Chains A and B, each alone.
Chain A
């Protein structure tokens, strides 16, 4: 009797469950899955960044990708490919040549966002040239004002990328804490009140390097990688203070060691490759 009742219970329960089944088939997705319209530039970016490196170059405006309170705008479409080619030639290819085919694939921001105009900082006499967010994204500003006939102007966004990429490398392999103990006494949040020349006499390669330890390290990297060996040496040798020169050379040695020991990259070789590639970009 008990078993019969159990079987009846089971049948009724099954009936209750099955009887509520909706006979309608699952319809089409309510999400718009139509592929976006891709222009020639989109296809070129897909072939040269997305497919080989899984890096998106976002040039079409999305207000959420930048600070909504700043007055920023997208770049002219014709200014996107030149800066993207510059990234490819003067950043990705040199690192790939020395670090191996997968170097950039493994350690790289997953997205570049391009903004056409200058990013003015409120209540400060400064502009932001680039922003790196959590190692996953780099935003470059003033893309519409890059003059590819002037090597100094072209080096500015490349310096920003080298700077931000060094941050990303630091997030992968931390810098030896000894670096921050070399000359911490003049780190200052009001770094913009110093000129580069004044900062160098204090043992920092640029004014921004004198803001804090982490910026100091990546500024060393970006200065080395956006100057030829001769130009870089001329900068350092032009510092009047012998002590400051010695400090910067010591920092340089730590940076070179960091690249060699952690990534097996000769920084001077990388410097030569990026310099040659940069010069080739100039019209």
Chain B
């Protein structure tokens, strides 16, 4: 009997199971579609966003803002899978057509599947950045769409890259995109020194606390700046940001943050040849100043070299260094242009300094040497160091008749050294140019009378 009862109970349990096993005990659904559907929807959303703008997008792309600045692209995505594009990367602004795709990779991605302007930033043959280019990519992860902007990142440089697309608002993409690209490319020239530009390119921040002058330290190859602020005690604080040039100015990434204010967009002021950003009554300005942000005490070391009589050499054939200013190059080029017709050219010049002032004539000497012409020699006073770490050498006259007769050839260089407001001397370690490297101590001298003039050379 007991066995039969167990079977009956067993049957009852199975019956109950059969009845209740189908009850719906689902909890609240977080999503109303499956993951694959949601991914497909997001792909579709991105594709629709890209192709829905008939006049395309303006794209600002920072490949890696801890090393490089950025570039602007204009791109129009077509429903047939092609994209028309131009950029301000270089002077080749013609619109090119290539392919693109929106697909799911590490996440929803926009991929420029064949080569166009965007791949210029990942060209490993780019001069000066061999093997890496600007470390750009062809694959962008879709992060967000907010305030009308589509935001992407490069998974390799997740925290330092950004590609931001916003509608162009053009009425004629083909014409206006190229115009805009060429305008921002032209803007990039304004930050570069011209023959008349001061060599003292600084970032000046003016706020309630006063004026802070940073040496800008702009790298025109990388479009990157590492401004340094040096206190009188020699303590250095450094900033770092990439620059992206626009038609009207420039954008910094990462934004510049200083004493509680954030400066990101700068407007170019033609009159002062400077970039200005005004935030809450404070101002950040990138400009060519008449005076350096900081003068090091290097002149005291220079004065000790070779028993106080260091000999400086500048020789163009040793190669170029950007510390020699465009203005100084213009003097040498002008001389060579004039002398070329006579089969003569500038070979080098030497300045014999004497920091031990005995009150005698011709303690310092300037010698200009040519290929195919006698040397010209001029007397200068001994070098005297001023309280502000500048120094002076004063022109006294030609050393011989030839030097007098042909002084017009040397006059610009004489004037360069004969700077009544003084000169700035900075040491730069071993001598290095684009074609030579020597262990000799290198130095630059800049004029404060003509701050567009600076020369880089070596002591020997």
A residues sitting closer than 8 Å to B (CB atoms) are 1, 5, 8-9, 12-13, 15-16, 19-20, 30-32, 37, 39, 59-64, 68-77, 116-120, 122, 144
Min distance, Cβ A153 to any Cβ of chain B, angstroms: 15
Min distance, Cβ A2 to any Cβ of chain B, angstroms: 9
Q: How far is the CA of A8 from the CA of B14 in the complex (A)?
A: 10
**Do residues B114 and A30 form an inter-chain contact, with CB atoms below 8 A?**
no
| Chain A hits for B112, CB < 8 A | 61, 74
**Do residues A76 and B115 form an inter-chain contact, with CB atoms below 8 A?**
yes
Among residues of A, the one whose C-beta sits closest to the C-beta of B35 is: A30
Min distance, Cβ B336 to any Cβ of chain A, angstroms: 37
| Chain A hits for B130, CB < 8 A | 120
The residues in B between 76 and 106 inclusive whose CB is less than 8 angstroms from any CB of A are: 80-81, 98-99, 101, 105
| Chain B hits for A76, CB < 8 A | 98, 114-115
Check B2 for interface membership: any CB of A closer than 8 A.
Answer: no
Classify the secondary structure of A's interface with B: loop
| Chain A hits for B113, CB < 8 A | 60-61, 74
| Chain A hits for B270, CB < 8 A | none
Min distance, Cβ A246 to any Cβ of chain B, angstroms: 41
Q: How far is the CA of A183 from the CA of B101 in the complex (A)?
A: 51
Min distance, Cβ A186 to any Cβ of chain B, angstroms: 29
Check B15 for interface membership: any CB of A closer than 8 A.
Answer: yes
**Do residues B36 and A30 form an inter-chain contact, with CB atoms below 8 A?**
yes
**Do residues B138 and A32 form an inter-chain contact, with CB atoms below 8 A?**
no
| Chain B hits for A39, CB < 8 A | 81, 99
**Do residues B119 and A63 form an inter-chain contact, with CB atoms below 8 A?**
no
Q: How far is the CA of A59 from the CA of B34 in the complex (A)?
A: 32
A12 with B18, Cβ < 8 A, contacts A60-B114, A71-B133, A75-B114 known: yes
Q: How far is the CA of A120 from the CA of B138 in the complex (A)?
A: 18
Min distance, Cβ B208 to any Cβ of chain A, angstroms: 45
Check B21 for interface membership: any CB of A closer than 8 A.
Answer: yes
Sample of 8 A–B contacts (CB below 8 Å) = A12-B15, A61-B113, A71-B136, A73-B138, A76-B114, A76-B115, A77-B114, A120-B130
**Do residues A20 and B22 form an inter-chain contact, with CB atoms below 8 A?**
yes
Q: How far is the CA of A20 from the CA of B11 in the complex (A)?
A: 19
Among residues of B, the one whose C-beta sits closest to the C-beta of A28 is: B37
| Chain A hits for B43, CB < 8 A | 32
Q: How far is the CA of A106 from the CA of B115 in the complex (A)?
A: 33
Among residues of B, the one whose C-beta sits closest to the C-beta of A122 is: B131
Q: How far is the CA of A5 from the CA of B6 in the complex (A)?
A: 12
**Do residues B124 and A63 form an inter-chain contact, with CB atoms below 8 A?**
no
Q: Which of A1, A13, A74, A144 has the most CB of B within 10 A?
A: A74
Min distance, Cβ B400 to any Cβ of chain A, angstroms: 53
Q: How far is the CA of A63 from the CA of B140 in the complex (A)?
A: 10
**Do residues A73 and B11 form an inter-chain contact, with CB atoms below 8 A?**
no
**Do residues B7 and A5 form an inter-chain contact, with CB atoms below 8 A?**
yes
**Do residues B17 and A16 form an inter-chain contact, with CB atoms below 8 A?**
yes
Check B135 for interface membership: any CB of A closer than 8 A.
Answer: yes
Q: How far is the CA of A119 from the CA of B139 in the complex (A)?
A: 18
Instruction: Please name the 6 residue pairs, one residue from A and one from B, whose CB atoms are nearest each other, closest first.
Output: A120-B131, A60-B113, A30-B36, A16-B18, A73-B119, A37-B81
Q: Which residue of the partner chain, among B80, B132, B138, contacts A74 with CB atoms under 8 Å?
A: B138
**Do residues A120 and B98 form an inter-chain contact, with CB atoms below 8 A?**
no
| Chain A hits for B37, CB < 8 A | 30
Min distance, Cβ B85 to any Cβ of chain A, angstroms: 13
Min distance, Cβ B45 to any Cβ of chain A, angstroms: 13
Min distance, Cβ B229 to any Cβ of chain A, angstroms: 34
Min distance, Cβ B29 to any Cβ of chain A, angstroms: 16
**Do residues A5 and B11 form an inter-chain contact, with CB atoms below 8 A?**
yes
Among residues of A, the one whose C-beta sits closest to the C-beta of B134 is: A71
Min distance, Cβ A48 to any Cβ of chain B, angstroms: 19
Pair count A-B, CB < 8 A: 100
Min distance, Cβ A168 to any Cβ of chain B, angstroms: 27
Q: How far is the CA of A1 from the CA of B125 in the complex (A)?
A: 90
| Chain B hits for A77, CB < 8 A | 98-99, 114-115
Q: How far is the CA of A120 from the CA of B122 in the complex (A)?
A: 12
Q: Which residue of the partner chain, among A20, A30, A61, A122, contacts B111 with CB atoms under 8 Å?
A: A61
**Do residues A73 and B115 form an inter-chain contact, with CB atoms below 8 A?**
yes
Q: How far is the CA of A120 from the CA of B135 in the complex (A)?
A: 13
A63 with B139, Cβ < 8 A, contacts A19-B18, A71-B132 known: yes
Q: Which of A39, A60, A64, A71 has the most CB of B within 10 A?
A: A71
Q: How far is the CA of A59 from the CA of B98 in the complex (A)?
A: 12
**Chain B positions 372 through 396: 1 when the CB is less than 8 Å from some CB of chain A, otherwise 0:** 0000000000000000000000000
Min distance, Cβ A263 to any Cβ of chain B, angstroms: 36
Check B201 for interface membership: any CB of A closer than 8 A.
Answer: no
| Chain A hits for B290, CB < 8 A | none
**Do residues B139 and A61 form an inter-chain contact, with CB atoms below 8 A?**
yes
| Chain B hits for A71, CB < 8 A | 122, 124, 131-133, 135-136
Q: How far is the CA of A20 from the CA of B19 in the complex (A)?
A: 10
Among residues of A, the one whose C-beta sits closest to the C-beta of B111 is: A61
| Chain A hits for B136, CB < 8 A | 71
| Chain B hits for A73, CB < 8 A | 115, 119, 122-123, 138
A37 with B22, Cβ < 8 A, contacts A13-B14, A60-B101, A116-B115 known: no
**Do residues B114 and A117 form an inter-chain contact, with CB atoms below 8 A?**
no
| Chain A hits for B36, CB < 8 A | 30-31
Among residues of A, the one whose C-beta sits closest to the C-beta of B40 is: A32
| Chain B hits for A31, CB < 8 A | 36
Check B137 for interface membership: any CB of A closer than 8 A.
Answer: yes
Check B156 for interface membership: any CB of A closer than 8 A.
Answer: yes
Among residues of A, the one whose C-beta sits closest to the C-beta of B129 is: A71
Q: Which residue of the partner chain, among A8, A20, A62, A120, contacts B21 with CB atoms under 8 Å?
A: A20
**Do residues B11 and A12 form an inter-chain contact, with CB atoms below 8 A?**
yes
Q: Which residue of the partner chain, among A30, A32, A60, A116, contacts B34 with CB atoms under 8 Å?
A: A30
**Do residues B18 and A63 form an inter-chain contact, with CB atoms below 8 A?**
no
Q: How far is the CA of A31 from the CA of B40 in the complex (A)?
A: 8
Q: Which residue of the partner chain, among B17, B21, B131, B137, contacts A63 with CB atoms under 8 Å?
A: B137
**Do residues A118 and B105 form an inter-chain contact, with CB atoms below 8 A?**
no
**Do residues A30 and B40 form an inter-chain contact, with CB atoms below 8 A?**
yes
Q: Which residue of the partner chain, among B14, B114, B119, contacts A59 with CB atoms under 8 Å?
A: B114
Q: How far is the CA of A37 from the CA of B77 in the complex (A)?
A: 14
**Do residues A117 and B122 form an inter-chain contact, with CB atoms below 8 A?**
yes
| Chain B hits for A13, CB < 8 A | 14, 18
**Do residues B115 and A75 form an inter-chain contact, with CB atoms below 8 A?**
yes
Min distance, Cβ A114 to any Cβ of chain B, angstroms: 10
A117 with B15, Cβ < 8 A, contacts A5-B7, A60-B101 known: no
Q: How far is the CA of A146 from the CA of B170 in the complex (A)?
A: 37
**Do residues A68 and B156 form an inter-chain contact, with CB atoms below 8 A?**
yes
**Chain B positions 1 through 34: 1 when the CB is less than 8 Å from some CB of chain A, otherwise 0:** 0001001000100110110011000000000001
Among residues of B, the one whose C-beta sits closest to the C-beta of A143 is: B115
| Chain B hits for A70, CB < 8 A | 124
**Do residues A9 and B11 form an inter-chain contact, with CB atoms below 8 A?**
yes
